[in-house]
A and B are shown apart, each in its own frame.
Chain A
Amino acid sequence: MAPSATAPARGPWRTALADLVRDWTAVASFTVFVLVVAVCLLAPVYAHYIAHTDPFQSNISGTTVVNGKTVPLLAPTTTGLGLGVTPIGPTWDVHHYFLGADNQGRDVMARLLYGGRNSLMIGVGSALICCIVAALLGVISGYFGGVVDTVLNWFFDVIWAFPVYLLAISLSVVLLTNGLRLGPLTVGAGSLWLPVLIIAAVYVPYVARPVRGQVLALRGREFIHASIGIGGSDARILRRDVLPNVAPMVLVFLPLMAAINMLTEAALSFLSVGVQPPNASWGTIINDGLGLLYTRPVVAIAPGLMIVITAVMLNLLGDSVRSALDPKARLRGAA
């Protein structure tokens, strides 16, 4: 964009960016997050060229090589009641079932990477949709007031009063049976868009309410009165005065919502109302690992660790973005 007088608030954004680059927590957490994303995006490469498996195909009678010997993937259980089978544990050999197999003989490592792709896509995607929709609704509600505000606010109240997980589970249970048809929008029952949209929807009030509060506060400020006074249209005031003041707040929410949404996706998938088979996500793998918890704990532990690492990075990044964008925080730091 050409530098011009219409570029709003270039100064603060640039200062914030400079702050972020100097903040080692921000840089470190961002780097680790990007690494996790990159590794997960390489899932097909790992599956095809390194592990040579299809992580979506059950392989109950398959074999693999451990220390040069061919062993079956699933061995009959010898301990406990002796019922069922125990999949092989981690071989720590990247070419042969690095993290072992699940009880369908599928490579856990490959599934972990593929699952990560879905978990990250759902977490980040739903956070984006949620923040954009919430910002729009919050700005409209706060700026125009009146009936629109009453209706929207009431709508937020109703969603807010549902326990988040119960609402998400209810929507999932219903929509998973036969997909979503809303006017021109059609989403198949097994589609990953379903958890994305459901999770985005249930968290809208969490972002929209603070945005509305901020806009309400802005409406009373002198510079908005001045804009109205010089005959600015609503569109102009929204674009020039309101949006630049709301954008930082929404930006702060983004990584935090991505973390929360990823955790919600995992919870839904763990309860088997999120990502549907044959797709995987970190939540579904934890669920797969539930039955193997006492024999092959790594199946449940590995995806959980990935969730923790990713969520910690997103939360740290969110904190850094907040302190970079909040001038008050900067003043405190300097004092």
Chain B
Amino acid sequence: MIRFAARRFASTVLVLFAISVVTFLIFFTTPGVDPAARIAGRNADPATLAQVRHEFGLDRPLPVRYLLMMDHLLIKQDLTSYVNRGAAVIPQIEHAAPVTLSLVIGAAVIWMLLATVIGTASAATRGTLADPVMMAVGVVGVSVPTYWLGEVVNLLTQDKWHSGAFSWVPPLGYVPLTANPVQWALHLLFPWLTLAVLYAGIYARVLRGEILEALNEDYVRTARAKGLSERRVLIAHALRCSLIPIVSLFGLDFGALVGGAALLNEVVFGLPGLGLLTYNSLQNLDLPVIIASVLYAAFFIVLANAVVDIVYAAIDPRVRRA
């Protein structure tokens, strides 16, 4: 078990290294993308460009530039932005991370609850009309662009019905939890719901499939033979085992969202989280911020992957030998 975990950890570090190299190469070796031109500003004269190039070490060979950047990012931790001169990168990420975490954790709680209820209920009511109706809701949830849904929600809560039913909805933006917990929740309520709709749909569908499969298993027959009620069989036996694949799916999605996959929600609801930070840095080709936030994101995804694998190995010994 420990050997498995160690091997998994080693490959994690390797993948993170590869990602930093790939990101670096995407932005540094593509012709036409000249960081120096970005830093120096529009129509800078060649002398300024050369000076900027030298100052930022952009005239050094590629591997040296890569190592310099990693040194500033990870060891000295004083990497600064190319665009907002002097703005340190790490504090920006530290500032954005709680916003994204607030958004994602709240949404995750909502979607897991919704998905468990809808998935179990539709598996229990298979063969009746309720099942296809619930699944249809799930399909729509999967098919809605979340930023578009966010816009429609904004339209209703901020404009059309703002003087009526939704007068309690605060303007777009973010209030830190530590500053005012009630306002924090109110500001995040609709972003949470919007983000949760998408995932609740996917998870409910997966869960329903798993439960239906589990209901055909021998252990369910055994449970029934022992004379357990159908409700107990469904919830204590079938649902319990069906949640294992859901939990692994959850690990991956959660990692991706914390890492910035909630970008579109942050854009639409004006939440200054990591997704927005990364997006803005991509638009400005602000390389230090891009590298830092992509690495941060990848770190969470890879970590989630590794945790899921290790948990799996702990549950299922066969995986360890693979």
Min CB distance, B150 to chain A, in Å?
Answer: 10
**In the complex the two chains form, is B261's CB within 8 Å of A165's CB?**
yes
User: Besides the contacts A158-B18, A161-B305, A304-B144, what 6 more A-B pairs have beta carbons closer than 8 Å?
Assistant: A161-B16, A162-B294, A162-B301, A165-B260, A165-B261, A267-B145
A301 CA / B154 CA spacing, docked (Å): 12
Q: Give B contacts to A, CB under 8 Å.
A: 11, 14-16, 18-19, 22-23, 26-27, 30-33, 139-140, 142-145, 147-149, 151-152, 154-155, 158-159, 212, 216, 256, 259-261, 263-264, 267, 278-279, 282-283, 285, 290, 294, 297-298, 301-302, 305
A182 CA / B263 CA spacing, docked (Å): 30
Min CB distance, B126 to chain A, in Å?
Answer: 10
* B285: contacting residue among A154, A173, A283, CB under 8 A: A173
9 A-B contacts (beta carbon < 8 Å): A162-B298, A165-B264, A169-B263, A170-B282, A174-B26, A300-B148, A304-B151, A308-B140, A312-B139
**In the complex the two chains form, is B152's CB within 8 Å of A166's CB?**
no
Min CB distance, B292 to chain A, in Å?
Answer: 12
Q: How many A-B residue pairs have CB under 8 A?
A: 134
Chain B residues positioned under 8 Å from A308 (CB to CB): 140, 143-145, 148
**In the complex the two chains form, is B31's CB within 8 Å of A178's CB?**
yes
Chain A residues positioned under 8 Å from B145 (CB to CB): 263, 266-267, 270, 283, 286, 304, 307-308
- For chain A, the count of residues having a C-beta within 8 Å of the partner chain is 45
* A174: contacting residue among B11, B30, B279, CB under 8 A: B30
**In the complex the two chains form, is B19's CB within 8 Å of A332's CB?**
no
Min CB distance, B196 to chain A, in Å?
Answer: 17
* A332: contacting residue among B18, B159, B212, B256, CB under 8 A: B212
The answer to whether the Cβ of A297 comes within 8 Å of any Cβ in the partner chain is yes
A170 CA / B281 CA spacing, docked (Å): 10
What does the 1/0 interface line of A161-183 toward B look like (CB < 8 Å)? 11111100111011101100000
Q: A157-B15, A169-B282 given as contacts; is B264 within 8 A of A163 (CB)?
A: no
* A169: contacting residue among B30, B140, B144, B279, CB under 8 A: B279
A308 CA / B137 CA spacing, docked (Å): 12
Chain A residues positioned under 8 Å from B33 (CB to CB): 174, 177-178
